[in-house]
Chain A
Amino acid sequence: MSESDLLQRIHQGDEQAFEALFKEYFKVLSVYAKRFVNDLDLAQDIVQEVFVRFYENRQKLAVHTSLKALLYQSVKNRCLDQLRSAQTHQGHHEQILNLNQGNDVDAVDIMEQLELEEKIYNAIAELPEQCQVIFKMSRFEGKRNQEIAEELDMSKRTVEAQISNALKRLRKDIFPYLKVLIIMLLHIFS
């Protein structure tokens, strides 16, 4: 379904179309919101609220750029509101500083980057369970192959093979997209 078809159906109050939109964007927008508010639960609440408002206002929605851009912008605005209202708390001053510094970052660039991150997540999620576990221990816990092998009671060779499998998968699933992304960014900056 094209974006304009989807929007048309949402305009008409088609809940299924709305749900499809929600499912497509909820995760990626929540990760985006977390960049501002630094709390994943709060980020999800904000995104949910944006969707609720979006649905309530569906009759008078004017999409100037794209539905996607509108959603990102709405989430960003809500996050900024949230941070402003929490401004009295000492701890948030720093976040607001970071926020202001980040304002110049090209919005298109951020959207593309987050989509890439979601694609990586999807690619990893399709790996066999054991391969995922090993990849995450290596990537997030910074564990050496030998440590992983001991912890999971397997040979170092197996760990190495699984890490290689994960990278092969990423090459297959992500690289074609990466090439398109690079070409696109070259166009934007040329």
Chain B
Amino acid sequence: MENKATISEHLLVAYWTDSASTEERQEVENWLAGNEENQDLFDQWKRVWEQSESLKDFEAIDVEAR
């Protein structure tokens, strides 16, 4: 099986949000299996994605108006 060194980042988002096709899932999993660093990268991205939850609150706050 082909182990790609790079991945199209949008596939990761599709993977996390369960909107990836079977082929896309396979592509992400191949990429993950291809290199330990990829798993590390994946974990960091996933954490940042999840931690972006409060983005809306940060956006809604207007410091200048205070």
Residue numbers of A with Cβ under 8 A of B are: 22-23, 26-28, 30-31, 34, 40, 44, 48, 113-114, 116-118, 120-121, 124-125, 136, 138-140, 142, 144-145, 159-161, 163-164, 167-168, 170-171, 174-175, 178
CB-CB < 8 A to A124: which residues of B?
A: 52, 55
In the bound complex, do residue B44 and residue A160 qualify as a contact, i.e. CB atoms below 8 Å apart?
no
B8, B13, B57: the one contacting A34 at CB < 8 Å is B57
Contact size range, B: 20 to 34
Interface of A, secondary structure class, is helix
A124, B54: Cα distance in complex, Å: 12
Number of A-B contacts (CB under 8 A): 87
Residues of chain B touching chain A, judged by Cβ–Cβ distance below 8 Å, are 8-10, 12-14, 17, 19, 41, 44-45, 47-49, 51-61, 63, 66
B9 touches A164 (CB 8 A): yes
The contact of B48 among A161, A164, A174, by CB within 8 Å, is A174
Q: How far, in angstroms, from A57 to B56 measured CA to CA in the complex?
A: 33
Contact yes or no, A40 B10, CB < 8 A: no
Contact partner of A167 among B9, B54, B58, CB < 8 A? B9
- In the bound complex, CA of A116 to CA of B45 (Å): 13
Are A120 and B10 interface neighbours, CB within 8 A?
Answer: no
Neighbouring B residues of A22 by C-beta, 8 Å:
63, 66
Tell me the smallest distance from the CB of B56 to a CB of chain A, in Å: 7
Contact residue among A34, A116, A145 (Cβ-Cβ distance under 8 Å from B10): A145
Are B19 and A144 closer than 8 Å at their CB atoms? Answer: yes
28 examples of A-B residue contacts, CB within 8 angstroms: A22-B66, A26-B63, A27-B63, A28-B58, A31-B61, A40-B60, A113-B51, A114-B54, A117-B53, A120-B51, A121-B52, A121-B55, A121-B58, A124-B55, A125-B59, A140-B55, A144-B14, A144-B19, A145-B14, A159-B10, A161-B10, A164-B9, A164-B10, A170-B45, A170-B48, A171-B45, A174-B48, A175-B44
Query: Known interface pairs A138-B13, A160-B10, A163-B9. Does A40 touch B61 (Cβ–Cβ under 8 Å)?
Result: yes
